[in-house]
Amino acid sequence: MEEVFSYIIGLGAAVMMPIIFTILGVCIGIKLSKALKSGLLVGVGFVGLSVVTALLTSSLGPALSKVVEIYGLQLKVFDMGWPAAAAVAYNTSVGAFIIPVCLGVNILMLLTKTTRTVNIDLWNYWHFAFIGAVVYFATNSILWGFFAAIICYIITLILADYTADKFQGFYEKMEEEVFEAIKKISTYLKEKEDYFPLEQYSKLANYLIAAKKYIDDEQLIDQCKQSILKKVQKSVLGDDIIHKLTYHDGIELWTDEQKKEYNEFKEQMLTRTKVESVVVLEQIKSVDDIQKLSENIYKNRDKYIGNRKFASELDIAGLLRVLPECHPSLIERLRGSIMEIYRSVNIGDFLMEDKPALILLKDGIDDLLRGNRINDKIKKLQLEWFFKNLEDIISGLN
């Protein structure tokens, strides 16, 4: 038997796992072609895991050894984390058969009604394989190795049975609590005038959209969103509130559908508000005007974003006329201030009107560079960077 196990182990997890997963797939009714494809993907994953582990060991090992030598540390163990442990576990005598053995135990316990749990987390069977392998190497007995693995597996199933009701009850209760919380939010939005601060509406919408998947009544979420839109209608916003409506520390939305819904709602919300008016410098006649423009941009950045236009109101011809006279540091400051405006998320939704003006500015800078009018190398470099920045901004507005 030892020779049989040794031969199987010699094939490696990259060979054995695809075979096991293919057989399991066919047994549960998956077409052979699809089961084989899934099994091969598992095999490819094992090969990739081994390659990455080997690369990390060979690359980081010498560097870490040098660190140990320099600082006089006594560190003799290189912790590669669970991926390496899993790969090792599945490449042992116990690991070669741990999946079918544990599934067999699970089915037997289901038939004898000694468990209500079906453990289909096959990848994490490596924990049982690892424990079994440790016992196998300690006792030099494959039977004791499988016995230890099976005992650990049975304990896992018993603990799963014991905690199942508590976990299920917790999540069921959580769904009820989320639904009740949203009902209260809906009521407060309708009945209480200033219960939620204006600057928190974007964050509130983020939470509501994230909570949609936990409740059955999506109409309730839509009602809350409409109430928010009514609240912000015709509100006059300053810099601070615009910033908080645009950026916040809410919940990260995972699906593209959620992100699209939130971005569209945020745009609706900002569209319905009034932003404190700010005038872009109408005429640029001197270097001092460009200095004022740069300061103006940094000061009123959020207002320009809220108004959804900046470059379209800028004196592009005057800017291009004066730009060659500017010191490189001023060009850098102007370039940075303009980049700050267009670095905002979803600029394509807010600043589309600026595209023609930005193209005009880009082409004008290109003409300056091609016309050999700029002799200062640093100034020329700043304008080249400015040109590249504008190309990136314009591509984001497509």
Residue 12 φ then ψ, to 5°: 90, 160
> Are 175 and 215 spatial neighbours (Cβ–Cβ below 8 Å)?
yes
Average pLDDT over residues 31-45: 85
State the pLDDT confidence band at 111, using cuts at 50, 70 and 90.
Answer: very high
**pLDDT at 6 (0 to 100):** 59
Concatenated DSSP letters of 25-86: HHHTT--HHHHHHHHHHHHHHHHHHHHHHHHHHHHHHHHHHHHHHHHT---------HHHHH
Q: What would the pLDDT profile of 240-296 be if each residue is shown by its tens digit?
A: 666 666 666 667 777 888 888 888 887 777 776 655 444 455 678 888 888 888 888
Whether pLDDT at 43 is above 70: yes
**pLDDT at 377 (0 to 100):** 84
Average pLDDT over residues 26-35: 85
| Cβ atoms < 10 Å from Cβ of 185 | 22
**pLDDT at 54 (0 to 100):** 72
**pLDDT at 235 (0 to 100):** 64
Q: What would the pLDDT profile of 58-70 be if each residue is shown by its tens digit?
A: 777 777 777 777 8
Average pLDDT over residues 57-84: 74
| Cβ atoms < 10 Å from Cβ of 161 | 14
Q: Which two tokens stand for residue 381?
A: 């470099």
Which stretch of DSSP H or E encloses residue 170? helix 142-191
* pLDDT higher at 301 or 387: 387
**pLDDT at 237 (0 to 100):** 61
Highest mean pLDDT among 6-20, 45-59, 137-151 belongs to 137-151
Task: Write down the pTM of the prediction.
Answer: 0.44
Task: Report the share of the chain in percent with pLDDT over 90.
Answer: 11
Which stretch of DSSP H or E encloses residue 82? helix 82-90
Closest CA to 379 of 326, 317, 336, 306: 326
Average pLDDT over residues 147-162: 94
